[in-house]
Structure 1
Amino acid sequence: MAFSAPLLAGSLDLTARSDEDTQQDVNLKPAQVIDFAGVKEGDQVLDLLAGGGYYSELLSRVVGDKGAVTLQIPKAYLKYAEESLEIRLANNRLKNVTYLLSEADNLKLAENTYDSAFLVLGFHDMFFQDKGWNFTADEVMPQVLKSLKSGGKLLVIDHDAAEKSGIRDVKSLHRIDSAFVKADLEKRGFKLIKTSKLLENSADDHSKLVFVPELRRQTDRFVMLFEKI
């Protein structure tokens, strides 16, 4: 589905944030992404595997005082995100954001609560295990489904992989095949309702690790919005 010019893109306040966040805006296009997901004032939003909370801060501005954001990460993320989170959440500066440290076997998510969930660059991590890392889709996604209200939305953004590669490259390249993602989530109680080319990059041939300098934050990423059936 073609992506139309969003209303929110011109109205979301992107100021008074860290230099690092602001620098990322050019490639991540957060206002357009949030508009694509349909987040509005008063919503309850789950930011799953939220990392340093880049999206949580922006979502907090969109949902406003009558809404709320849950910033969820597992302990394994702390070595990458703890410093950023301490700065972002210092002095209760994001009053409508709840920081949730939880694991795959019990995410501690209230059922039938969220209008939408954001899963940005994290779904591929649910398809491999490593030392200190075990956050599988089979454990996590049923809980996410239950946490969403009827008709709730799930936004999934990830680094695209080679066609028909499935989950072959999830650990080695941190990529996942978009066709696999659609099929997998539609088996788990979600329905794909629209996609966007907003973060596509045709110069990325899907053969390289996403962290190499020339692709850092510029990978070819699919953007999908699902709905809880």
Structure 2
Amino acid sequence: MKIVVIGGTGRIGAQVVRKLTEAGHEAAPAARSTGVDLLTGAGLDEALAGAGTVVNVANSPTFDDASLDFFRTTMGNLLSAGARAGVGHQVVLSIVGVDRVPQLAYYRAKTLQETLLGQGITPYSIVRATQFFEFVDSIMSWVVDGDTVHLPATRLQPMAGADVVDAVTETALGTPLQGIQNVAGPEVFPLDELGRITLAARGDDRTVVTDDTAGMFAAVTGDELIAGPDAHLAPTHYLDWLRATP
């Protein structure tokens, strides 16, 4: 079966392509570097020709209000091209709790993407994942002040990018869910504590200060980003991942 991976040259997409190929499928990455422009629709018809499934892991270049237009336009183009090509399954990677944090523009944009997907004519699946282990360094970099890292105590349930890849790949090879599959890491951490664990494991002597006004996740005040009891829990623990990551 031919499976097209939109955003298939990125962090998650390239790994999904590799996994699908190893499983014996014809996995084709689609990105600007391969001649596909989601915003204009250029190259989409050619890329989707003969595809049975489309996996969309493409991301907006910004996290602000412009991301709303990005997901509105790209989802519309992808659904239209998929319908013309006779695609039988559209899979989108999203975020656990995305519809519970409307105060964040990027989360509103991803919620819009999910809504548009559900309104389309093609059977679909949504894989909602929690924050990636790989993003912890970036999250801390937003809130550094000299030797101090300011982080809120927002509760997260992060997971390894490799486990996200496995979940997306499994969903792409299954029958359409016509709904949402939540996937999450096996542990819940307050973000400030996650920062302390990360710095300690790396021998970094910077200090984490709990600051519930700092950074993007300060807008999340409850357990909105924690997966519910129906979630599939990934196997990789954060400390094990840290030890194995250079």
TM-score, normalization by structure 2: 0.41
Q: Quick check: which one's helix share is greater?
A: 2
TM-score, normalization by structure 1: 0.44
